[in-house]
Each structure stands twice: as C-alpha cells, then as structure tokens.
Amino acid sequence: MLIIQTARKLFYITLGSLLYAISINYFLIPTRLGEGGVTGLTTIAFYTLQIPTYLTNLVLNGILLLIGLKYLKRKTILLSLWAIIWLSIFLRLPIIYTYHTQQTIIPTIAGGVLTGISMGLILNAEGSIAGSTILGKICNQYLGIPIGSATLFFDLAVAIPSVFIIGFENTLLTVIELYISAKITNLALERFGSKKVIQIISSHSNNIAQAISDSLGQGVTLLQATGFYSKSTKPIIYFICSSKNLARIIPIIAVTDPAALIITENVRSVRATDIYRLL
C-alpha cells in the first residue's frame, strides 16, 4: 500500500512538473512574461544573458532546498528534489510549437491556470518546486498562511522589479498571471482535501447508522441531543464522507426514514496523522 501511495505521489509530481514546464516554455517565455521566485529569476536570466532556464532552475532551487532542510521534513525535501529534476528535464526538451498571439491576455491566463494546477498537484503530493514554494510552505507551517497566498507574496517580490527587463505592460500581465496561479493553487489544495460533514436527525437513527456503516465500511458517531421545544431526546448521526459517498447514502436514508432531517456542511480538509496539511 505504501509503495502504491508513493508511486501515485511521484506520478502527480511528475505531471505537475510537466504542466509547469509547458506554462513556461509555451506561454510565458514566447510572450516575454515574467514569473515569481526562482522561476522569475530563470526567465530574467534567459531574457538578459540567454542562460538556459533548466540550468538556472536546477542550480538556484538546489540552493533553496539546502535551506529547506532546516525547516521542512526530509520527505518533503526528497519529493521536491524529484520535482526539480523533472522540471529541469522538461524545460530542457525541444519546443515543438511556439505559440504567438497579439492577445497577450490569452497566454497570461493560460500560463496562470497551468501553473496553478501544476502547483496544486505537486503540493498535494507533499512536494514543491522549491523556489518561493519552499518559503511558502515554511510560512504555512509556522504562520498558518495559505501556501498559494504566501507564495504569491514572494513571487511578487521578484516579478515587480522585473519591470526594468520586460517592461511595464508585461509586468502587469505577470502580476495577473501570478494572481491567477495563486487562486488556482489554493482552490486545488482545498478541493483535494475537502469532505462533507453529515448530521442526521431521525426516529430510526440506529437503523440508519447501521445501514450507512455497512454501505461505506466506516464508523459513524451518535451524539445524544435534546430538543428544547419537544423535550425529547434523540441521537444525532454524525460522520464525514466524500461527495461521491453522500450520493450513495441518500437513497439508504430515504428508504429507512423519508422524514429524516439531513444537514450537510463542506469542510476544507480532514486530516488525522498528517495534521500540518490542515493549514
């Protein structure tokens, strides 16, 4: 089971690295847009000195990983190293098609969406592409700031001064791209860990609880509650499940007690052993 989980994480990190490289090589650089963090420095080095992006990415991110050793788990560092290696490989691949358009907002949006999705995949697999994400994970772990928001702050610290290299208009587009990326990253991280809290009030609570437990193969909790108006005491069924499982149990509840009161709430993340991923 551990091998399968590790293989899945490595796959998501590799896929995220590929999407990130596509964003840089096919949308940002052809439009001469900047980026934040180390990636922003790689684009500036490419625009000014023609230094290959993969080389700058490998060297600078390697240095930041050494810094991260002091603050982050070794597992995160190793997965981040995996991401950096694959990102450098994908950046090194020949560009098949160069995308050009006069509507510069199109590559701006496309680059932001791709970058955000890639960061969501990599961060959800407990990795990072180093750079500002390493600093973002440190701020998240010690200050509770959402990773996407913390990363955006450090990205802007690099992107805004690049106005002297890429010009004012492209700097504004870069800020828009970074904002989109941060929003998509936060949204992706929330969706990956999101669950639903279900509360059921019924006169047939025991039967419903047994049916749900048998159907989902998980435990449910019964909370004793007293109605102030009726003065009657009934157990409330309380449990957590995914949206997919919620669709499975609604018919079960309807058959057992069509008059049952069902309360659902969205929760951003549910963790047990890995509590730091709640942040």
Task: Report the pLDDT averaged over residues 181-204.
Answer: 78
Domains of the chain (ranges; CATH) run: 1-193 (no CATH), 195-277 (3.30.70.120)
| H or E element at residue 84 | helix 74-92
| H or E element at residue 209 | helix 205-216
pLDDT at 15: 94
Task: Report the pLDDT averaged over residues 101-107.
Answer: 85
pLDDT at 279: 45
DSSP annotation of 194 = -
Give the global pTM.
0.70
Tell me the pLDDT tens digit for each residue of 116-164: 999 888 888 877 776 777 777 777 777 777 776 777 787 788 788 888 8
DSSP SS3 for 31? coil
Tell me the pLDDT tens digit for each residue of 37-94: 778 888 888 888 888 888 888 888 888 788 777 777 788 788 888 988 999 999 999 8
- Measured CA angle at 56 (ends 51, 61), to 5 deg: 175
Rounded CA separation 83/18 (Å): 9
Please compute Rg for the chain using Cα positions: 24
